[in-house]
Structure 1
Amino acid sequence: MHILFLTDNFPPEVNAPASRTFEHCREWVKAGHQVTVITCVPNFPQGKVFEGYSNRLWQREEMAGIRVIRVWSYITANEGFIRRVLDYQSFMMSAFLAALFVRRVDVVIGTSPQFFTVCAAYAVSRCKRIPFVFELRDLWPESIKAVGAMQESAVIRLLERLELFLYRKAARIVSVTHSFKKKLIERGIDADKISVVTNGVDMSRFKPMVKDEILLRELRLEGKFVAGYVGTHGLAHHLETLLDAAEEIHRLPEGSTFHFILLGDGARKQALKDEAARRKLDNVTFIDSVPKDQVARYWSLLDVSIIHLKKTDLFTTVIPSKLFECMGMGLPVLHGVAGESADIVRDERAGIVFEPENADELVAHLKLLQKDRAAYEGYRTHSLEAAKKYDRKAMAMKMLDVITQSVRKQ
């Protein structure tokens, strides 16, 4: 089977969509299938082309047996709705045109969060008369409203109609959460065409490690209880809560033993750095994004991982992918997200759930995990056990079954 996958995020980018797509495609190639990925040049999240790449009309490379075609797109930082839409639409057009030249394709997959890429996948499916699979990673454009980027308007309503059209036209929908599936069913989408394949963890890369001594010295973290956030610094993440917690801990008698790390980039990164400097928070260290093969070294520095999203009903339906990487590393999780992902943390006993945007609760749980070694080790053990249920190889094979069924049905 020849699988064509359209995505605007792919390695060497290190965000969740890039990792999921690469790791799934890698396993499909190992299973004997041909996989072609059409993507753009790596530029996320800063909107700058990565070193060693250029934004050309067409370029090819191979990664782990995956044929990768990179096409031109309008590149901009994650600043301003209009510019981002131009970015998405330019990739949609370029990806569609490039896909027409890929021969003997059996199925095309388009992935969200934004669904202009999915529009291209649908158009390709019509031209090539092949099934189209919609990988649903976010309820877009609902998430635009949730973070306050846009209010209810004629544009939003138009996007919602387009969203429903794509759901209905897809041969199969692969949702990353059960909550998304439930939402789609409530909106009239046939439940039988929706499968859930959650995110997972590449257990060959994310596993328990001793703290990296070189990084400990470089970052002056010897003897510290290190709490860390690893991921995008965007509007949805409301990382000001972590700064509030750092400020509160700074005032405690034992505050000097705690340190916070925030690793990654995003639209709010500079504003967060400026705010930390204004508050004189010397217990917070910001680290820019690092290459994929270096991420685990930085995870190793953490005693506990913090996962956080803005307090809004929409985010009760999401499962942050970093949760599974925390499990793989054997890290207790302080989980500031309500809903389905919080249920996983509780059920697996992988950490402690706290109210989003509640810095006082976060501080209380940090103090508990530092002092109560038995509780800490219990969360660590359960986290490692839970990771086995979300092995990326198993998730890739589950999605491959869905793809195969869509091709057979066609």
Structure 2
Amino acid sequence: MSKDILIITNYFPPETGAASNRIFHLAEGLQKRGFHISVLTPLPNYPKGKIFEGYKGHFKHTSKENGITVHRLWIYASNSKNKLLRLFAMLSYSFSLIWFFIWNKIPKKVIVQSPPLLVAFTSIFFLRNKKRELILNVSDLWPIAGLKLGAFKKNWSYRVLEWIERFNYRNANLVLGQSNEILTHITSIYPNKKTFLYRNYPDFNPPKIQNSSQESPKIKMVYAGLLGIAQGILKLCNNLDYTNIEFHIYGAGAEQKAIETFIKNNPKLPITFHGEIERNLLHQELLKYDITIIPLLNRIYGSVPSKIFEYARLGLPMLYFGGGEGEDIISQHNLGWIAPAADYDSLNNMLLTMKREKLSTSYRNRIQQEALNTFDFNTQLYKLGELL
């Protein structure tokens, strides 16, 4: 059995975010279990759409990181809202991948991250081979998610993306999905496709739960993550009732400037923007808050925010405001509260009636223990390793 595995992804540290963390932990975990891992990824540029310092001017950058060989390839970096520029950015990385495939020996096992659909398609199209095993790691259902978010319309280009999606599923030997909804969707198209539920469980030492701060009578609510269109943080700022809460925001993304402008124009509202900080420091900061909110502007079929598992390990109570499978996980494991997606009246009623006593240290310890028992990264990775 071959122990060499190539992972192809659009996101990897030093980039931040759920996608980057997910692939990093997968690569590191497999490396620790005796596999020889190499990673193909663009020069780091996410989420700002600019090549990071130290990588500018490179067409290719190769390094050894924690025993993993990381090949970083040229990309036309952009986070523009212009669809043509974003398409060109994806195509540029696809061309770099083709160039790499031509000039380098590719292992018999390859894990391909999707989305982006076009990058996954390029990889699968050029690497499909009867002697090679292709594992498709699906974290979101595109183009369905894009349709729900308003990024696509049901026209000829959408049908092309649907064809690409099905091509990717059809030619993958194994499909990993981070939600049951994703796997249900795939097996509805290809009933005999081999699948595996691979959640985005975190892998860090759980902190000791601190006693809740009583310095303010208000509940200290925090959001940390991408400030993108799908999360709807700007709309949340506009619609929250601040009678019983103060709201703290960490992160970066497309809505950042608009959020900062909103805070500046509404100085009496108890909203604080802290910017983006490194993940380990963020974990320490999050322990200071009473509750975290996990919002999605619209319910997205197949999407399960990885924050659920990360915050549970921190022992942080959650207010879930996104619909779908995430609601089931919060309810089943008693990790916090649920407000119907996009129903701001219900959300505010819940916040108005919420008491600090419910957010006790014992409740936080129970959440953390549930995460340690149920959302275990190593147990899941061991099962995946048995399939590879």
Instruction: Using structure 2 for the length normalisation, give the TM-score.
Output: 0.91
- Tell me the equivalent position of 1:195: 196
The structure with the largest helix share of the pair is 1
Deviation at 1:232, TM superposition (A): 0.9
Deviation at 1:383, TM superposition (A): 1.8
Question: Partners in 2 of 1:370 and 1:325 — Cα distance?
Answer: 24
- Tell me the equivalent position of 1:235: 229
Deviation at 1:387, TM superposition (A): 1.3
- Tell me the equivalent position of 2:369: 385
Matched AA of 1:381: N
- Tell me the equivalent position of 1:331: 316
SS at match of 2:128: helix
2:250 matches 1:263: yes
- Equivalent residue runs for 1:5-24 within 5 Å: 5-24=7-26
Query: Any conservation in 1 of the 2:117–2:161 contact (CA below 8 Å)?
Result: no
- Tell me the equivalent position of 1:162: 164
2:324 matches 1:322: no
Query: Any conservation in 2 of the 1:316–1:337 contact (CA below 8 Å)?
Result: no
- Equivalent residue runs for 1:11-410 within 5 Å: 11-103=13-105, 105-126=107-128, 129-186=131-188, 188-204=189-205, 206-210=206-210, 223=216, 225-246=219-240, 248-249=241-242, 252=243, 255=244, 258-312=245-299, 315-371=300-356, 373-374=357-358, 376-377=360-361, 379-388=363-372, 389-402=374-387, 404=388
Deviation at 1:15, TM superposition (A): 0.9
Comparing 19-28 with 276-285, greater Cα deviation is found at 276-285
Query: Any conservation in 2 of the 1:3–1:106 contact (CA below 8 Å)?
Result: yes
CA RMSD of aligned residues (A): 2.4
C-alpha change, 1:191 and 1:366, in structure 2 (3 Å) is farther
Deviation at 1:380, TM superposition (A): 2.0
Matched AA of 1:237: Q
Query: Any conservation in 1 of the 2:55–2:61 contact (CA below 8 Å)?
Result: no
Matched AA of 2:385: L
Query: Any conservation in 1 of the 2:121–2:167 contact (CA below 8 Å)?
Result: no
Question: Partners in 2 of 1:97 and 1:222 — Cα distance?
Answer: 58
Deviation at 1:330, TM superposition (A): 0.2
Count of aligned positions:
384
SS at match of 1:13: coil
Gaps in structure 1 of 5+ consecutive residues: 405-410
Query: Any conservation in 2 of the 1:41–1:53 contact (CA below 8 Å)?
Result: yes
Question: Partners in 2 of 1:379 and 1:152 — Cα distance?
Answer: 46
Question: Partners in 1 of 2:126 and 2:24 — Cα distance?
Answer: 21
C-alpha change, 1:66 and 1:78, in structure 2 (3 Å) is farther
Matched AA of 2:174: R
Instruction: Using structure 1 for the length normalisation, give the TM-score.
Output: 0.87
Question: Partners in 2 of 1:170 and 1:307 — Cα distance?
Answer: 32
Cα offsets for 1:220-259 (capped at 9, x unmatched):
x96363211111111111223431354x21xx3xx5xx32
Gaps in structure 2 of 5+ consecutive residues: none
Matched AA of 2:198: V
Deviation at 1:121, TM superposition (A): 2.3
